[in-house]
Structure 1
Amino acid sequence: MTLRNLYTIFVLTAVLFCAASNVNATSSSPTNSGWPQLIYKATIPDMQSVLGYSVGQRITSHPDMLRYFEALQKSAPRNIQIFEYGQTWEGRKLIYAAIGSEQNIANLTQFSQDMQALSDPRVTDKRKAKGLIDSLPSSVWLEYSVHGNEISSTDAAMMTAYHLLAGEGEVTVDNIMQNSIVFIDPLQNPDGRSRFIANYYSTVGMNHSSDRLSAEHNEPWPRGRANHYLFDMNRDWLAITQPETKGRIASLKKYHPLVVIDLHEMGGDESYYFAPSAQPVNPHMTQAQIDNINLVGRNNAKHFDANGFDYFTREIFDAFYPGYGDSWPTFYGAAASTYEVASSRGQIFRRLDGSELSYEDTVLRHFVASISTAEAVANNRTKLLNDYYQYQIDAIEAGRSDKKERVFILPNKRDRAGHFKLAKLMTEHGVDVYQTTEKVKMCGETYAPGSYYIDTAQPRGRFVKTTFTQQVDMSKAFIKEQERRRERKLGDQIYDVTGWSLPLMYNLAVNTCGKSVSGDHRLVKMTDTLEGHVTNANATVAYIVPWGDMAAGRFLTAALQQNITLKTADRAFTIDDNTRYPAGSLIIEVAANNADIAATVQEIATQSGALVDGVNTSWVTEGPSFGSNDTYLMSAPKIAMAWDDPTSSLSAGNTRYVIEQQFGYPVTAIRTSTLVNADLRHYQVLILPSGRYQNGLGKAGADNIKRWVEAGGVLITLGSATAFAADADIGLLDVKRELAINEQNSNENPDTESSTVAGKAYASRDDLIKHSENSEESPDFVAGVLANVEVDQEHWLTAGVAPDVVGLVYGDDIFAPIRLASGKNLAWFKGEEDVLASGYLWKENKKQLAYKPFLIHQPTGNGMVIAFTQEPTTRAYLDGLNVMLMNAMFSAPAHAYVVK
């Protein structure tokens, strides 16, 4: 059969895009195509018969998607099974479907067990593996609409499922069904899609508008891209914070599909993108994986060429960051890729060239790519299975042969809660993590019981390498090209963050060893819990919670919400028995609380995982006593945050999630426009996430907030909100945002009032470039690196925070230090040679960022402004900054002076 005839299977459009509801309809190909007709099984319902519209006529809602897949399962229960893998924050069901031959679907449980066996050569030798490879079908996982406003792929998922079930008897469909299992996750982000659809159809008038200026094509804040907590879930695969991501990862771990495709949308003026990916590629990916996904890309190209569809490869979308939906699967051994189609962002879209892109067009292209991918996977069953098993062998061997970083060790000396969370996170990723149960010696160091370690000589060893190694380098050729482009004042091609080391983001020390570990240990399990404990549970004087980790933080938020009376100590102190407690430690005095305080403390300790000491004396031998002016009574603050335009939806959502779900404390979202005149007296803390507030708040809003701060409020600004507060016309923060360092002599700048300039001779092209530069411009934009930060240890805002932490630097904001007459710089970036912790940072930015503030405190009247020059809540994965943020939210109100 010719390629042109093979393409017959893709001509679903004539059936599904026609208005007829007859399920016996025959698909008629375009008359000039030469494709024969294709008849679908009458027993399989099409969308028209179930939903009342055909593919592309309407953007399918989440309930309609569920209804259609349920109808497919009812009509073909032996060929499709639907599984629920979770619920969204808003209670919407998350499903995936498994589609294949009757035998493959009947053996789905056995398939899962066999893929688990094939995934671990430590238990499955080559002989057993060969037997599995000879018998196993191949598998492909197609995931659609992780961004809720990238709408076409869900309808393409429905179209793909129908085609595979109703096209029985066609050679390529039969090949796919017999030789593979096709997993379809039709809608990864139901909350975001529901938001988009509600907004879209509320703006449609008499006719759908194709004008990009129309309301239909301009979503209101926060748009439909993100989920309920406004997370970009395509970047959540590293931190696994959202229920959608958790369920998806658990499902992929169950089946280990050989190929994973994440289907997206891009700008409407583009065409279609598929693999090979752009540079840089993560160096821990293998050549076989790259070759296999390129093989799939070539198959796509055949079908796109046959149908006259434009496409491009090797541009824009790289394979470097391991936290994407198309990169995470590569680290268990899959071949994976992103597909991107030009988006109509509605029913029809007029492009810049004057042509109109319909919703049907976008769905069709994703459908063609889906079937083409499934075909390539089925055709290469043996190769993909062999390469998958070899990946596991090579991963283990790579770990064994590493004489420096075979084992990563977390000593668990500081931040017990952080170590536990990171160990559990890696376990959730499918990594074997161990905890010592006795003293263990590794590479000359002795580690106490309770330490964690990961041996990279395991199938997931490459994932450990790419997430635990301090630095993952982009290729030298790619870096050289970026520096050349920068020299020419061209934009760089770095797509996302270049630093993501998990131990750094958790601010945990990690050691390495080049040898395997002996000694008693236990495998960390997902069912493990962080055990809280109260010593001297019936204390007569007080209970003390050492400050410095999130177990103590969760204890604090729970205690405040239960109206427990407690204090915080600004400085470290030592009790009579010589037990020393760090600054910020919580003091719960028995006499100041109800008679059942012992039971309440025990309950909160158990829930939070906190360690609590009961004491029978308040005699302090060093540091502030319980009744000192350096101990402050804490109360439950009412916390508000800016919401809606012009707040960054990602920053607002990430911040709200961290406060509500990680800290366990409620926050009130107030629309930014309301803050202009709002009476904020009932709130003690106001958070401005990143955003461009000049238009949303402006001078009037800033003045309203300033009056509230002067009366005793605590204003916390994050990232670009700090630039707003520092604006001279706004006057909330007495610092200045810096321009880029300019080496030109200022007197060489031309007089803008004159039409002429003094003549000058240039000796080289470098002179031309130098004298073409603007005299005033921002520092070069940074896509995201991890930077080292020094922390002042003598201020209550940094109580319990380590002397050195790591923050994420993104964007082009660098601030001059605040003057001591106005406030204090409490954390600052390290020097030029030490500022970069992980990633790639332009040399000029290294120089200028050195010793510039990260955390600023400015008293204002009875209140204060606390400014983070970078965001501490990005993607909710900077756990090492959580204590610093908690101090700003909970200790600051205790230190503000409010007239009662």
Structure 2
Amino acid sequence: MQKLVLVLLVLFGSFSLTSAQNIKSPSDFLGYEIGTQFSRHHQVIDYFKSVANAVPNQVKLETYGKTNERRGLYLAYVSSEANIENLETIRENNLKNVYAERSRSTGLLDGEPSSTDIAIVWLSYNVHGNEASSTEASMLTLYKLLTEQQDLLKNTVVIIDPSVNPDGRDRYVNWYNETKSTAYDIDRQASEHNEPWPGGRPNHYLFDLNRDWVWATQVETQQRLAVYNKWMPHVHVDFHEQGINEPYYFAPAAEPFHEIITDWQRDFQTQIGQNHAKYFDAEGWLFFTRERFDLLYPSYGDTYPTFMGAMGMTYEQGGHGMAGLGILNDEGHVLTLVERLTHHTTTGISTVEMASKNAKKLNSEFRKFFNNSNLNYKSYVVSGNEDKLNSLKVLLNKHDISFENPTSTKVSGFDYATGQQGSLSVDGSAMVVHSDQPKGKMVKVLFEPNTMLSDSLTYDITAWSLPYAYGLDAIASTSKVSSNKLAERKSLQKLNDAYGYVSKWNSMGDAKFLAELLKQDFKVRFTEKPFTSKVQKFERGSLIITKGDNKHIEKMLSKLNAIAQDHSQPLTEIYTGFSQITPDIGSPDIKLVNKQKIAILSGNGTSSLSYGEIWHFFEQQLYYPLTSINTDDFGKTNLDKYNVLILPNGYYGDVLNDDNMTKLKTWVSAGGKVIAIDGALRSFAGKEGFNLNLKPSEDVDNVEKNKNLTAYANRERESSNDFITGAIFNAKVDHTHPMAFGYDDNYFTLKLGSSAYRLLDSGYNVAYLNDTKVYSGFAGKNALQKLDDTLIFGEERMGNGSFIYLVDNPLFRSFWENGKLFLVNAIFFVNNNAYEL
């Protein structure tokens, strides 16, 4: 028997050696030493395919989707032969640990919690396209795991995503490969170290995918989450790069940690960091830990996995898009791509090593994470606009978070609207989200009214609570609210022949419906005043489609019915143009919606992220055409071809020179509309002919004096008094103004910075702050001083046209759903006398 075992061991060892010999190194496969060139996405995937073909018993490669530019998204599952053979069983057993608290009562999964000792490690590379060393490292990591580190794979499954953002990566790599010198130039002033706008960091729609994990607005994120939530790994690493003068950063993370993070998660981060340090110390490599990169904002590649029970970590290598193949940094060191990818490979292997050594503990602590009995709030009840509730359901479904309908008619607890204890009357259409579900800790993170901060110095925004973001009434209850499964939504009835049809106006669903009607050449009216037909009252902004306006459309009723059905848009039939309470349908107060021709500035001077938010909004949310005009071409652009010009956040000092500003004013005076967002407002503040003015602090001299007396070591912390890091405020709204149609008289706004503008002396203050109470998030005391009586949204008339000011960006990362209708209103309703082309 012993001889047989020995023979098998010899054979197995021989087989493993033979398998390893079948694998080409990245350098041999690519035809150049890895790190001496940037590899295009297709080359990287070809290498992964070649390895999977060489050792199919140890590598399973699958595609999980495509990008907007049709590049494939891939995952490689790397493990021992036995584990690959039982891959699906390992996955299912791991999910039993996630659902252990509820599996028997809900029937989500059969069987007892798993006692498996296999660790699941997910490595994500190149989420920022121009942080390109990590994808190179993914190839070398794969090779080393299968050749030098086979022992680590006996009790680990390593999931490798070689490029989370292939579109951004290829944008950077293709530019660099066609730009660089031969040999590469280490002078940072060389063109190869200075990317053109918009750079390779974001994806196709210029979104930062590392801020999109929770909001899942982008196709890459949506497709990745579908797989991620089927696996729920124990460890997740997001590989990044930072500035060329920064050494390597790895865990443990900086404060603030979100309060749901467990002691084990904190402790194991430190253990992993110490293991990395061992390898870095041996080579004399510099690194730092516990600084800058905190674990609070939930939409990162480290926080999202952490809040889902994993050890979520960010690793940051010096380099970024400036570094190229090699660059001379401020310390006189030539930082090379070879060096950068070597560091990433080292931490990747070290992570797998620590997971392998602690597989049993990782599994047991992972299972404990999903016990949510200690969460304070047991239920979150949200009610309000049905379309907004449905949008929230779509988001929760992306994360496998369940919800039900309340059976109570009144609930009590923390009232989001007032920021204190209260009660809310609800009906069966309201939603209840319980925290005693597998993703209960993520429920807390997303719904908690105000996130607890252990430190005011954070890397990102400090407020995101979903009831505020979606514009819904909400109660957080410390006792579980009774509920049952959601009732099925009733289907729409076919339309009958009538004088006209009226649609509500209070959600993005209504906006999409309007956009589709306009694209199909329907004539649509909207009302600037409430009216009553028969016994039904219709509010400001309601859309009216009359038979008389649309005689040019063949089979108008059937086409309208089809559009309404496609959009699940209920329409009310009216059989006369005579209203019981005026205005009548033919009134001047019921206006035609112009089929607006919209342009947006792009290129140098604009924020690529802000431009991308708007671009994505029009193409993937509103589905309405938009023309992009490069800022370099603005001087020669014929603005008369457009009704609306949108200026994203940005700096337009070079674009809006005296001649171009005169040109813009002339166009607006003739009937055009400019919509300026966030930093774009600075181009008009204080300028001749505009009533827009920045509001300084009330006591600037004292503030500056106090700064000068602050100790050097405390200067950064003291400066936080001047910051607003994504805090939520309650703004007053003039809901009679067309820009606010569909809103009530208040609006919870997400303020991203401390810039404040005085109320308009002439024009319309559509939304403004007259209360500086912070409902959620952090705002420094000095910043708060100047917020009282400041503008949020406004309109200033100039001749026949308008300048529209959006101080707070309603499209920020595309997750503040409740603000998007302000932009649509500004385009189609505000100053509707603007000429139609």
| Cα distance, 1:781 vs structure 2 | 3.8
Whole-angstrom CA distance in 2 between matches of 1:720 and 1:547: 29
Whole-angstrom CA distance in 1 between matches of 2:340 and 2:113: 39
2:313 is the alignment partner of 1:337: yes
Contact 1:723 1:813 in 2 (8 A): no
CA shift digits 1:823-881 (9 cap, x unpaired): 1211102313x3x2210101222221122011111111111111111211110011101
1:597-636 to 2 correspondence within 5 Å? Answer: 597-636=556-595
| Cα distance, 1:446 vs structure 2 | 5.6
Counterpart in 1 of 2:607?
648
| Cα distance, 1:565 vs structure 2 | 0.9
Whole-angstrom CA distance in 2 between matches of 1:388 and 1:217: 43
Counterpart in 2 of 1:369?
347
Query: Aligned with 2:192: secondary structure?
Result: helix
- Which of residues 561, 574, 581 is equivalent to 2:538? 581
CA 766–219 in structure 1, closer or farther in 2 if over 3 Å, else same: closer
Whole-angstrom CA distance in 1 between matches of 2:541 and 2:302: 42
| Cα distance, 1:595 vs structure 2 | 4.9
2:519 is the alignment partner of 1:540: no
- Which of residues 134, 146, 159 is equivalent to 1:153? 134
Contact 1:144 1:157 in 2 (8 A): yes
Whole-angstrom CA distance in 2 between matches of 1:623 and 1:885: 28
| Cα distance, 1:726 vs structure 2 | 2.1
CA shift digits 1:270-298 (9 cap, x unpaired): 11111111111111211111112222212
Supply the AA of the counterpart residue of 1:569. T
| Cα distance, 1:597 vs structure 2 | 2.3
Contact 2:94 2:114 in 1 (8 A): no
Contact 1:640 1:670 in 2 (8 A): yes
Contact 2:141 2:348 in 1 (8 A): yes
Counterpart in 1 of 2:382?
410
Counterpart in 2 of 1:110?
89
2:510 is the alignment partner of 1:552: yes
Whole-angstrom CA distance in 2 between matches of 1:46 and 1:314: 35
Supply the AA of the counterpart residue of 2:463. G
Counterpart in 2 of 1:64?
43
Whole-angstrom CA distance in 2 between matches of 1:123 and 1:104: 27
Query: Aligned with 1:811: secondary structure?
Result: coil
1:223-242 to 2 correspondence within 5 Å? Answer: 223-242=199-218
Whole-angstrom CA distance in 1 between matches of 2:709 and 2:265: 45
Contact 2:116 2:363 in 1 (8 A): no
CA 798–123 in structure 1, closer or farther in 2 if over 3 Å, else same: closer
Counterpart in 1 of 2:449?
470
Query: Aligned with 1:372: secondary structure?
Result: helix
Counterpart in 2 of 1:868?
806
Count residues in correspondence. Answer: 799
TM-score normalised by L of structure 2: 0.91
CA 349–39 in structure 1, closer or farther in 2 if over 3 Å, else same: farther
Contact 1:676 1:702 in 2 (8 A): no
Whole-angstrom CA distance in 1 between matches of 2:85 and 2:571: 53
- Which of residues 121, 126, 151 is equivalent to 1:140? 121
Counterpart in 2 of 1:877?
815
2:145 is the alignment partner of 1:164: yes
CA shift digits 1:565-590 (9 cap, x unpaired): 110101121112x1111100100001
Whole-angstrom CA distance in 2 between matches of 1:580 and 1:44: 72
2:770 is the alignment partner of 1:830: yes
Counterpart in 2 of 1:273?
249
| Cα distance, 1:449 vs structure 2 | 2.2
Supply the AA of the counterpart residue of 1:586. L
Query: Aligned with 1:888: secondary structure?
Result: helix
CA 736–135 in structure 1, closer or farther in 2 if over 3 Å, else same: closer
1:441-840 to 2 correspondence within 5 Å? Answer: 442=411, 447-475=426-454, 478-479=455-456, 493-522=457-486, 533=492, 537-576=495-534, 578-593=535-550, 594-728=553-687, 731=688, 733-742=690-699, 744=701, 780-820=722-762, 823-832=763-772, 834=773, 836-840=774-778
Whole-angstrom CA distance in 2 between matches of 1:780 and 1:445: 36
Supply the AA of the counterpart residue of 2:131. E
Query: Aligned with 1:802: secondary structure?
Result: coil
CA 129–56 in structure 1, closer or farther in 2 if over 3 Å, else same: farther
| Cα distance, 1:132 vs structure 2 | 5.7
Supply the AA of the counterpart residue of 2:770. K
Whole-angstrom CA distance in 1 between matches of 2:228 and 2:213: 12
CA shift digits 1:522-548 (9 cap, x unpaired): 39xxxx9x877357x114110100111
Query: Aligned with 1:797: secondary structure?
Result: helix
CA shift digits 1:769-802 (9 cap, x unpaired): 69xx9xxx99934332222211102212211122
Query: Aligned with 1:373: secondary structure?
Result: helix
CA 600–112 in structure 1, closer or farther in 2 if over 3 Å, else same: same
Contact 1:129 1:389 in 2 (8 A): no
Whole-angstrom CA distance in 2 between matches of 1:608 and 1:618: 26
| Cα distance, 1:122 vs structure 2 | 2.8
Contact 1:533 1:612 in 2 (8 A): no
Query: Aligned with 1:695: secondary structure?
Result: coil
Whole-angstrom CA distance in 1 between matches of 2:459 and 2:707: 28
Which sits farther off after the overlay, 669-678 or 235-244? 669-678
Counterpart in 2 of 1:33?
none
Structure 2: 5+ residue runs without aligned partners? 1-16, 413-422
Contact 1:641 1:689 in 2 (8 A): yes
CA shift digits 1:353-383 (9 cap, x unpaired): 1111110000000000000000000100010
Contact 1:733 1:865 in 2 (8 A): no
Contact 1:673 1:697 in 2 (8 A): no
Supply the AA of the counterpart residue of 1:682. K
Contact 2:96 2:114 in 1 (8 A): no
Contact 2:697 2:785 in 1 (8 A): no
Whole-angstrom CA distance in 2 between matches of 1:712 and 1:123: 61
Query: Aligned with 1:886: secondary structure?
Result: helix
Whole-angstrom CA distance in 1 between matches of 2:261 and 2:667: 53
Whole-angstrom CA distance in 2 between matches of 1:441 and 1:409: 10
| Cα distance, 1:114 vs structure 2 | 1.2
Whole-angstrom CA distance in 1 between matches of 2:338 and 2:193: 17
Q: Pairwise CA RMSD of aligned residues?
A: 2.6
Contact 1:140 1:259 in 2 (8 A): yes
CA 98–565 in structure 1, closer or farther in 2 if over 3 Å, else same: same
Supply the AA of the counterpart residue of 1:407. S
Percent identity between the two aligned chains = 31
Counterpart in 2 of 1:892?
830
Whole-angstrom CA distance in 2 between matches of 1:561 and 1:505: 29
Supply the AA of the counterpart residue of 1:56. G
Counterpart in 2 of 1:31?
none
Whole-angstrom CA distance in 2 between matches of 1:391 and 1:379: 20
Supply the AA of the counterpart residue of 2:25. D
Supply the AA of the counterpart residue of 1:135. T
Whole-angstrom CA distance in 2 between matches of 1:391 and 1:608: 40
Query: Aligned with 1:543: secondary structure?
Result: strand
2:400 is the alignment partner of 1:421: no
Contact 1:407 1:516 in 2 (8 A): yes
Counterpart in 2 of 1:98?
77
CA 766–610 in structure 1, closer or farther in 2 if over 3 Å, else same: closer
Whole-angstrom CA distance in 1 between matches of 2:563 and 2:520: 10
Supply the AA of the counterpart residue of 1:511. I
Contact 1:534 1:602 in 2 (8 A): no
CA shift digits 1:85-142 (9 cap, x unpaired): 111111111111110011111111112211111101234589x999765434111000
CA 206–58 in structure 1, closer or farther in 2 if over 3 Å, else same: closer
Whole-angstrom CA distance in 2 between matches of 1:327 and 1:859: 45
Whole-angstrom CA distance in 2 between matches of 1:802 and 1:673: 41
Whole-angstrom CA distance in 1 between matches of 2:833 and 2:473: 32
Whole-angstrom CA distance in 1 between matches of 2:93 and 2:646: 51
CA shift digits 1:679-727 (9 cap, x unpaired): 1111111000011000133222222221111111111000010111224
